[in-house]
Structure 1
Amino acid sequence: MKAELKSVEEYLRQWADSAIQFLPNLLGALALITIGFWLVRVVDKILHRFFERRDYEISLETFLRSFIGIGLKIVLIITAAGIVGFPTTSLVAIFGAAGLAVGLALQGSLSNFAGGVLILIFRPFKVGDLVTLSGEFGEVKEIQIFNTIILTPDNRTVIFPNGAISNGTIINHSKHGNLLVEMKLSIDFTEDFEKVRSIILRELNNDPNVLKNPAADVFIVGYGDTSLQLTIRPYAAPEHYWDVHFTTLNNLRKALIANGVRDPQPVTRVMVLKND
């Protein structure tokens, strides 16, 4: 009985000695995590102010703040584990293996993710711009981390993977602020072009959606059997592009009709072959 009590007493003494040795490390680890998490919040606020001043996309700000915050917290946890005696090499190996497995499983998604980050950082276009991506023309409605969404003139929503966008050709029609709106119109071959041109330019000058500078112009670009084929080239601000593209052309046609300008008249040729 005495031997058993002595054994228990020895065990408790060893446990107490271990606890006394371990307690400072545990307190140090807890202090590191507490102070470290507070510093992470401070860094997050600094990043928020940084992105606000530079007017970055909100999706990029949210992603980078989360990414940096999670990364810093992982470093803190690994460091705290090392303080209490946990082998940090094992933790690093676990995180590394998990990252490799996720990377192999999501290769396509990671390509789109990287493309999205590049688009959000370098900003070849922004929400509201008129762009041509992979042959599709439309207005950028949303830039996400993995995809970009545009709305086409015929009201189709097209979703592009960001990886394909970053590796392809991007045409940004809104980059310089003024958009050229090219419109086609045909008039009868016998009409006076200078008269028609003056009517069109007068209507464009009175249109509030058409920019005065650069000035609009009208050209003859071809001839049909009974027609003059015209190209009308006004400029518009990006937000008025569709109004000029559709409504203005309709108003021009009404003005030409009101001034007696005729549409091309079809001609039918009849050949009579006489048999002797």
Structure 2
Amino acid sequence: MSELEKWLGEGSAMLPWLTDIAINIVIGLVILLVGKYIASKISRWCENRMLKASVDRAVAGFTSSILYALMFAGVVLMALGQVGVQTTSFIAILGAAGLAVGLALQGSLSNFASGVLIILLRPFRAGDFIDGGGQMGTVDRIELFHTYLKTPDNRVIIIPNSSIMNGSIVNYSREATRRLDLVVGISYDADIRLAKSIMEEIINADERILKEPKYLVAVSELADSSVNFFVRPWVNAGDYWTVRADLLEKFKYAFDEQGVGIPYPQMDVHLHNKEA
């Protein structure tokens, strides 16, 4: 009986300590959840404010991602401190383990560093149409480790930042104007002067084609089956694809009406009757 009383007495003595631990754990969880919610709200608010201040959308998204990561790290430390973990020692342990973690996460760190370089060097902005990392699309946003592109058919492509920075980047939207590079072929028996005149007339009639720089229409090649022309007008970048499609269609209609042939690939075969 005395042993039971002794055990109950020890349990009663430990009850306040266990209660304090439970309360601290609950408070720590509340700090973690509420802090995460507040960090998310603050980062979104900052992003919206930057967008209203005409800050580039890619920069705003990258900055808000960094801000959220820093605030969430602080919230985790606060929650651990509330539970009773010595955060000073915890930070020291994290620092000691940082090298090993860094080696294990070389790819992620490389993506982060590349994201910083993208923001600093600005090879492209949100809304630019680029070819980077082997993919083409419109830049939607830049985050800590990835860049998001949207394709013309509304697919989202997520590319690691290091893949973009380690390769060539073609920015189709950086300049206000672009040059169309068309190759138009006519048959050898067609009138070259007539074909050139038809194409120049169509180009001069299109108001979307810029007067300066001057367009070029010239014979580029005497190919196997056709006489090829370079057709190189300048247009505003936003009109590139529509003007390209319209010119090709108008060339075809005008050539058909004027009797200018567009040949198919062909091969002449000569047969010789060799007497035995």
**TM-score normalised to structure 2 length:** 0.65
Counterpart of 1:140 in structure 2 is 138
1:1-276 equivalences in 2 (<5 Å): 53=53, 55-56=55-56, 57=58, 58-70=60-72, 89-97=88-96, 99-100=98-99, 102-134=101-133, 136=135, 138-145=136-143, 146-150=145-149, 159-264=158-263, 266=266, 268-275=268-275
Say whether the 8 Å CA contact 2:178–2:235 is kept in structure 1: yes
Letter in 2 for 1:60: F
| 5+ residue gaps, structure 2 | 1-40
| Distance of aligned partners of 1:153 and 1:242 in 2 relative to their CA distance in 1, 3 Å threshold | farther
Say whether the 8 Å CA contact 1:222–1:229 is kept in structure 2: yes
Count the aligned residue pairs: 230
Distance in 1 (alpha carbons) for counterparts of 2:175 and 2:101: 41
Distance in 2 (alpha carbons) for counterparts of 1:205 and 1:105: 61
Q: CA RMSD in A?
A: 3.9
Letter in 2 for 1:272: H
Counterpart of 1:6 in structure 2 is none
**Residues 200-220 of structure 1: CA deviation (Å, up to 9, x unaligned):** 122223335433333322221
Give 3-state SS (helix, strand or coil) of 2:271's partner: coil
Q: 1:154: how far off?
A: 8.7
Distance in 2 (alpha carbons) for counterparts of 1:153 and 1:87: 52
**Residues 117-144 of structure 1: CA deviation (Å, up to 9, x unaligned):** 32234321123323332555x3324333
Q: 1:259: how far off?
A: 2.3
Letter in 1 for 2:273: L
Q: 1:257: how far off?
A: 1.7
Distance in 2 (alpha carbons) for counterparts of 1:245 and 1:165: 28
Say whether the 8 Å CA contact 1:47–1:65 is kept in structure 2: no
Q: Matched residues, percent identical?
A: 32
Bigger radius of gyration: 1
**TM-score normalised to structure 1 length:** 0.65
| Distance of aligned partners of 1:129 and 1:259 in 2 relative to their CA distance in 1, 3 Å threshold | farther
Say whether the 8 Å CA contact 2:129–2:171 is kept in structure 1: yes
Say whether the 8 Å CA contact 1:127–1:142 is kept in structure 2: yes
Q: 1:152: how far off?
A: 6.2
Say whether the 8 Å CA contact 1:128–1:141 is kept in structure 2: yes
